[in-house]
Amino acid sequence: MYIKESITNSLGHRLKGIFSKVEKEDFHKIYEIRIRTNQPIIIYKESGECFIRSNGQYTLDRKKAVIARDEDIKNTLEMMSNYSMYAFEEELRQGYITIEGGHRVGIVGKVIVENNTIKSIRYVGAMNIRLAHEIVGAADKIMPYIYKDNASIYHTLLVSPPKCGKTTILRDLIRQISEGSALKQGQTVGVVDERSEIGGSYMGIPQNDIGPRTDLLDGCSKVDGMLMLLRSMSPQVIAVDEIGKKEDLYAIEEVLNAGVKIVSTVHGTNLDDIMKKPVLKEMIEKEFFQRIICISFRRGPGTIEEILDGSSLKDCKVVS
Amino acid sequence: MLIKSIGMACILIGATTLGWCIDRIQLYRIEDLEGIRSILYMLHSEVNYSITPLPTALREIIDKSNSRVNCIFTRLLSLIEDKTSESITVLWEKAVKSELPKTYLEEEDKKTYYPLDKPLDTWTRRCRRKT
């Protein structure tokens, strides 16, 4: 499904009318659409942020921007949930829902707390639609560095700040490992997709191409998911997004002990930055990862800054 | 005398037929009301206990039920799948308006089941309390 189609189908009646006027190609350049009650709708693109006018044109003039109304958010939520908000209670508790096309919608509003735990969010005041861009070939540059031989890969860690494309690269990495090629054997990949970002699953079905040998656990916690996959699906590679908690250390250790390769991502700018985090420092010192790949936004999303060897912590090769 | 007898017979037959027809219509109307009630009960169960999304719940219920009023829910489902971005109240009104003539339900019966979003909202709140 085209990005435009999946986004406009998820918007309320008035917003659908406005966004339908935006060119189909323009949706590929949009990263985020932020809708706040009584505030102008803001669009984040590669070139920066802008507002949208009622004729679907972009503007930098706030006075000409479309102001989101309360009912716009209400109708949009109704559409996003397919008139079934009750079915998204668990996701709402986490503060986001995933819509058709794998786009993630962050939600804020009045949080209902019961016994010190978040029960749900009511009176949604704002939402952030993060458009999932599936870029086939995003991991092409790093593929030669992560293959140990034709049949196995290195334990790999992708390091990147938010919005630099680490999940997009991870997704393509999973697809390529799973698919294999004429020279490289395709491998069984188990993916724990805690926040439905990798597969972009909607109703349990991955919306993104993650390869023919990939088993995806959607909405499952990383620790439980990794152990479940180990026990049940006998993967050759396990992929997870955004590690960093203490529990992750234990689960990754289990994965490594089972002889399964791990591919993971973490928030950070470079090696020094992640070494400041105790859990990651321990993982790197114990040489959990054989390849550490740092990604930035310097030349647009997915710029490969350095590819380090996990034991020497020196450059494998700098891609300029 | 013969003409009188024929006239009487015509009146009797006519009145009987008319009465029979009205009776049938009322019986069918009751059947339709019961049908709509049972569908709403099933929908309530699907939403409340299985937390099935509305389109899936409607699809399952349409398959299970053989009531005449199925046409209203089939129409509602097709309107939902059209992704017109209109609210469920509007879609329900449209479905009822277009399909009501195909059933024996009367105008006053519409009020009983208007609007659908209210029961849905209530079910959602009950559901939230349970989870």
| A102 pLDDT above the threshold of 70 | yes
- Structural domains in chain A plus CATH codes: 3-130 (3.30.450), 143-317 (3.40.50.300)
- Interface predicted TM-score of the whole assembly (ipTM), two decimals: 0.74
Residue B50 belongs to a domain = yes
Task: Check CB contact under 8 Å for A89 and B120.
Answer: no
Between A12, A84, A89, which is nearest B128 by CB? A89
Rounded to a whole number of angstroms, the distance from the CA of A80 to the nearest CA of chain B is 10
Q: Is residue B22 part of a domain?
A: no
At residue A320 the predicted structure's pLDDT band, cuts being 50, 70 and 90, is very low
| pLDDT band at residue A59 using 50, 70 and 90 as cut-offs | very high
| B84-125 pLDDT, tens digit each | 888 888 888 888 889 888 888 888 877 776 656 566 655 555
What's the token pair of residue A277?
A: 């985090």
* Backbone torsions φ then ψ of A276, nearest 5 degrees: -80, -15
Average pLDDT of the residues in A174-193:
90
Residue A128, pLDDT > 80, answer: yes
Please judge whether B47 and A9 are an interchain contact, meaning their C-beta atoms are less than 8 angstroms apart. Answer: no
Establish if B51 belongs to a structural domain.
yes
Q: Rounded mean pLDDT of A233-241?
A: 93
Q: Which residues of B touch A70 (CB under 8 A)?
A: none
Burial class (CB in 10 A: 0-12, 13-18, 19+), A254: middle
Is residue B38 situated within a structural domain?
A: yes
Number of domains comprising chain B: 1
Q: Residue range A36-58: average pLDDT?
A: 92
Distance CA A305, CA A295 (A): 5
**CB of A200 closer than 8 Å to CB of A206:** yes
CB contact under 8 A, B54 and A12: no
Q: Which two tokens stand for residue A273?
A: 């930055």
Q: Using CB atoms within 10 Å of the CB of residue A45, give its burial: 0 to 12 exposed, 13 to 18 middle, 19+ buried.
A: middle
In a domain, B16, yes or no: no
Residues in chain A: 320
Containing structural domain, residue B110? 30-130
Q: Where do the H-state alpha helices sit in chain B?
A: 2-48, 54-64, 70-81, 88-99, 107-112, 117-130
Of B53, B83, B127, the CB nearest to A9: B83
- Provide the token pair at A252: 């990754």
